[in-house]
């Protein structure tokens, strides 16, 4: 007996067997059970999410010999023939191969005739957006005034290409990409039923690689079983898909946190031994960094699909600032986009890792470079300068007010992100046993949230060695109090002014003005930090 691929073997035969798309299932079952059945339906969505499957179940519900309902029997000759693809009154058409107007007219010539066996003559037109303009015009008249015994089921991955005149005559249902947990559960169910030995991490990797398509997930599972001799193991799935496993992700991010260029290149060499898909590898790395940023910003985030992986990523996230993670993510996704322009895929991947090692967000204090392979890579800002001032002493910032003790304290609390900005927009009015009273500049009100105040209170409690309660009042007008943020803004203005004066008095710049009539573009001068 020939082997039947999993995607066909486990294709749903009834609405109850459908996975996901509850909004479509509910609408269609209600229409069938109430008898309010439109003559034309349009199913849209990406590949493998169930468009033609739902259309076939709907056709079976219309023609089941036990009557029109949302629960076809699946056993009568009509149901059996529809499942087998040989029901004479279900006409399945691939519009991609029948785009000519003559093909469409030939198809519609028999519309006026009654069904040969069933209750309804059902036209299932897949990838309907591929029809030509003349073909749509030929179809339009029939869609507008169809015979009562005809139903049209249209499916497409690109509904924007359909004429509005066709769209307006159909009930439209958009099928969403299936979420990863749902695909994983279905893969686990099928693997158990097929008596396949599998590792949960392997099925999660397959579900992630399917990108929301159940059919792609089952096709990948078939491929993995062929590759792994009937088993689905994580290492084999990673090798087949060319993705990063946990050890590679952990190794790369640990090397980045330690600014260890030699270790980073060693990780790239180990990865290259597995002949990976570097485009996919950068995607996996970007996904891990994105999850780290979420876990760092939202410590109370509900567990994800893999709790063990979340614990690993949360530990790694603690070694980076929020700004670092944002920059690493941008480098990963931009490098993925530019990979085709690299001399070769490995070189593009290595350059992406070197960028992650070399650059840090604008405005953060410079860090020492690591030894080994990273020793020759200078730390730089992530924003390119059009022109930079020569190194000169910046103008002195305004003298700190009475809140300078709070300035120093904020710098030592180890706050990151929003909590740091919130604290920098405050000044300390009073500190006594168990209490710190602060005044907030109106400019910092957008950072004020209960969870941010809690993080600040926790940091102060750790600093003072006792439980601290905050009392915060707000200043009446911006600039009324001299906060650390205000001090930094004044210092930045002074540095900017000094940079512009330095460029303005530079002999080379003056010469270019005099000889070529050159001008300095406004806003292009940035001070060196």
Find residue 437's DSSP bridge partners: 430, 471
Q: Which residue has the tokens 């958009």?
A: 174
Q: What is the pLDDT of residue 367?
A: 43
Q: What is the pLDDT of residue 404?
A: 60
Alpha-helix runs per DSSP H in 211-365: 214-227, 234-241, 246-257, 261-272, 278-297, 307-317, 322-338, 345-358
Please give the Cα distance from 383 to 418 (Å, whole number). 21
Question: Using one digit for the tens of pLDDT, what is the confidence trace for 292-332?
Answer: 999 998 888 777 667 778 888 888 899 999 999 999 999 99
Q: What is the pLDDT of residue 119?
A: 93
Question: Using one digit for the tens of pLDDT, what is the confidence trace for 401-432?
Answer: 345 688 889 988 888 888 999 999 999 999 88
Tell me the two tokens of residue 67: 């009557």
Please give the Cα distance from 315 to 325 (Å, whole number). 13
Strands 426-432 and 40-44, bridge-based pairing: unpaired
Instruction: Report yes or no: 425 and 371 within 8 Å, Cβ to Cβ.
Output: no
pLDDT tens series, the chain, 529 aa: 567 899 999 999 999 999 889 999 999 999 999 989 999 999 999 999 999 999 999 999 999 999 999 999 999 999 999 998 899 999 988 887 776 777 778 778 888 889 998 899 999 999 999 888 888 888 888 888 889 999 999 999 999 999 999 999 999 999 999 988 899 999 999 999 999 999 998 898 899 888 889 999 999 999 999 988 889 998 888 878 767 777 888 899 999 998 888 899 999 898 888 778 888 889 889 999 999 999 998 888 777 667 778 888 888 899 999 999 999 999 999 999 899 888 899 999 999 999 998 887 755 544 433 333 333 333 333 333 334 333 333 333 333 334 568 888 998 888 888 899 999 999 999 988 889 999 999 988 888 888 999 999 999 999 988 999 999 999 888 878 889 988 888 888 888 888 888 888 877 777 777 766 778 887 788 877 6
Q: What is the pLDDT of residue 184?
A: 92
Q: What is the pLDDT of residue 392?
A: 35
Find residue 154's DSSP bridge partners: 42, 125
């Amino acid at each position: 007996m020939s082997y039947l691929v999993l995607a066909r073997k486990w294709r749903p035969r009834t609405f109850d067997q459908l996975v996901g798309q509850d909004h479509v299932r509910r609408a269609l079952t209600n229409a069938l059970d109430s008898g309010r059945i439109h003559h034309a339906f349009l199913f849209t969505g990406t590949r493998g999410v169930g468009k033609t499957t739902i259309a076939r179940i709907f056709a079976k519900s219309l023609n089941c010999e036990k009557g029109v309902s949302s629960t076809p029997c699946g056993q009568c000759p009509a149901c059996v023939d529809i499942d087998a693809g040989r029901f004479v009154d279900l006409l399945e058409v691939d519009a991609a191969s029948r785009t000519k107007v003559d093909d469409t007219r030939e198809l519609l010539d028999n519309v006026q005739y009654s069904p040969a066996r069933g209750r309804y003559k059902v036209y299932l037109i897949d990838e309907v957006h591929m029809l030509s303009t003349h073909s749509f015009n030929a179809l339009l008249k029939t869609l507008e005034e169809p015979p009562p015994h005809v139903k049209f089921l249209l499916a497409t991955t690109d509904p924007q290409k359909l004429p509005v005149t066709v769209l307006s005559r159909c009930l439209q249902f958009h099928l969403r990409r299936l979420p990863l947990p749902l695909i994983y559960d279905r893969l686990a169910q099928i693997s158990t039923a097929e008596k396949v030995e599998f590792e949960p991490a392997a099925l999660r990797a397959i579900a992630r690689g399917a990108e929301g398509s159940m059919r792609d997930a089952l096709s990948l599972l078939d491929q993995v079983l062929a590759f792994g001799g009937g088993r689905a193991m994580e290492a084999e799935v990673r090798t087949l898909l060319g993705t990063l496993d946990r050890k590679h992700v952990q190794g790369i991010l640990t090397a980045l946190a330690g600014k260890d260029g030699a270790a980073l290149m060693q990780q790239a060499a180990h990865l290259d031994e597995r002949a990976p898909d570097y485009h996919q590898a950068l995607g996996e790395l970007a996904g891990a960094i994105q999850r780290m940023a979420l876990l760092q910003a939202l410590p109370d985030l509900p567990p994800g699909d893999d709790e063990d992986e979340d614990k690993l990523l949360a530990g790694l996230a603690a070694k980076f600032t929020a700004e670092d993670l944002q920059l690493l993510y941008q480098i990963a996704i931009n490098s993925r986009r530019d990979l085709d322009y690299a001399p070769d895929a490995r070189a593009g991947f290595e350059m992406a890792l070197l960028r992650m090692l070399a650059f840090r967000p604008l405005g953060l204090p410079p860090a020492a470079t690591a030894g080994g392979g990273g020793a020759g890579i200078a730390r730089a800002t992530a924003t390119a300068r059009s022109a930079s001032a020569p190194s000169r002493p910046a103008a002195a910032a305004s003298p700190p007010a009475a809140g300078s003790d709070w300035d120093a304290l904020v710098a030592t609390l180890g706050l990151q992100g929003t909590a740091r900005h919130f604290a920098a927009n405050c000044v300390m009015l009073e500190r006594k046993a168990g209490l710190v009273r602060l005044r907030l500049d109106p400019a910092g009100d957008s950072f004020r949230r209960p969870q941010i105040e809690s993080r600040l209170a926790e940091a102060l409690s750790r600093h003072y060695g006792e439980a601290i309660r905050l009392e915060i009042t707000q200043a009446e007008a911006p600039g009324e109090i001299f906060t650390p943020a205000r001090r930094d803004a004044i210092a930045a203005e002074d540095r900017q002014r000094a940079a512009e004066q330095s460029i303005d008095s530079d002999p080379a710049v003056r010469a270019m003005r005099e000889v070529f009539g050159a001008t300095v573009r406004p806003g292009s001068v940035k001070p060196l930090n």
